[in-house]
Chains A and B, each alone.
Chain A
Amino acid sequence: MPATKETWLRESALPARPTYDEMLHFFGIPPYSADRLDDNIAKKRRDWYAKTSSGNPRGREKAKQVVGLIQRISEALKRGTGGDVGGGATSEHIPDEVFATLEDLWRVVSAHVFNDDYDAALRAARRATEQWANNADSASVFAWVVSAGYESGNILHPSVLAEGLGAAQVAVNRAPRESRNWESQVSLLFANGRTREAITATENAGRTLPTLTPRLLVQRTQAFVATNDPEQAMVAAVRAVHESAADAYATAAVRSLATSLLVGWLAKNLLPIRSIDGLHRYVEMVGVAAWCSDGVPEAEDLVRPHRMWAANADQRVFTGSWQLRSFLAVLTDFISLPIHNAVSSTPAWQVLLRGLDEPTSDWAFRVIARPKYVQDVHNIHLVHTTNDL
């Protein structure tokens, strides 16, 4: 196959919790067929490994991270399925573990998860479900391992995620008062792409448990974000922050997660602003995100550029002819100036939208787009001088 640089080979990043399809796309499937997965993983790894020897230290560092990501994702794609999880000259013989008590099981599994050894954690959890078949606790452990693996990006194969969800449902049915089981179930509903059912699950948990845990509250927010329901997402985010306020350790995390969920959604769906309604929705949502972020520095940093854009997006910028303005002003003894300004001004969001949609070097666009916060929230990078070949 000719050594051409295809788009998927160049992709160097994935979302923190990629979907199965996103991971396959990372490895070029499609356009290649699924049976090319192993070959594509190897090819991408080779290409990026070659970059780790580049003469540019920044490039070397980035390439090392991407090689690590490729390794992690390729292992996560196969983990738990019995497939080969990576290159190696030898395979170890892993002795079967036997657990005297459930406490033993939790201790062992927690240690594996803490050490990021999800292969061992899955093995132990599976072994426990064989040792204690049809048992709520062993099902709970298995569901927890798969959920933790999914959320850390280490267990991503659909069959394993489905297996985990099955176990979570058994655990919820048999031990509905255990909040961890609900948390695993909701997490694994997300993992299996059953987001609307995740919302229902949080409602069921609310009816069964004395209170929703901070994690369930955040998961509820996440579910509304994932189903593109910003109104409910904001309500859920505010509720999450309110109801976790009593727990000093949890509240900062909840604020941070709620903020990042809201900001993530609005950045993807509301920018660039395309209408007055869009502007109002953006301003509202940024306001809620800002409230959620209060007192948590990293969350405040995340929302700050959006707050600045929300405050300035509807400011009007003169976009008419400067020469005509000067001429009319002199002609009318400056009486026409405010009228001409008002008539020939455009809200900043419209100027930016025009500039993004149609490549232009016009002055107004460059003025609006120049501040870093505008470029950051819109994920653009403008250069203000041109030279070179």
Chain B
Amino acid sequence: MIAEHAIPSHEAAQAPDPMGPQPFRVIKVKEEIAGCTTLTVEPENDEAKKLCFFQPGQFHMIYVFGQGEIPISISGDPSHPQQLVFTIMGVGTVSRALTKLKAGDMVGLRGPFGNTWPVEKGAGKDVMLIAGGLGLAPLRPTIYSILARRELYSRVMLLYGSRRPENILFQEQLDLWNKRMEMNVGITVDSADKKWDGNVGVVTELINDTSFSPTRTIAMICGPEVMMRFSAHALMDRGMSPKNIYVSMERNMKCAVGQCGRCQYGQYFMCKDGPVFSFEQVEQLYKVREV
């Protein structure tokens, strides 16, 4: 079964050859936090321009020449398709190489791939966005989309957990969103010293402290799998149905078009059927321990 929020096949068909990387040039590099960089890239030709139209939750395969290719979620604004923005933490050979790129360098891109966050399903409801660590990056396009059409939604809440204050991603933007009063922003860190005057505690505690109606709320969670599991359970403890809780999964991918099977997760191919799933779809898979 493919998730209801999958991209219609006619849209995928308009994209260039999904297996052939298109050239993109790095135009801006910003170090966000230690080891984590945001790259802004622009297409080098008309074919490459077609890769810039995406929806929140989708990802591209980014090829670093001479190093390899990895999937990276888009962290930019879908309403600005002239360029693509990716936020990358260097945790392996290719991602470290990506964080060392400079303005003017070239990369190859394929995509966009995967399904999307159920942004439309949240219309008329309260929307709770829960991010942990670097998980705020793949959720950011959703935030842009929701705020661009803010009148469609009731309450919008962003709950964000990080290890320490210095690990908080997009700090300036979080402050801005908070000031704009269009969204309730709750931030918590696992530990801090006296210089931090914000909340200390796990992100599930923010969920417990937040007032919301479980029957008219849709939740989207992004972060490490264990954080998403704890958060989904905290929401279900408050009465939410797993049908209305969405998570974004992450696995190593190769082809990104559902051919190679590298990212198979139970009955699903992460690249094609995901990366966004309702918690109802994956709850049982979460219980399976990897060998």
| B is bound to A | no
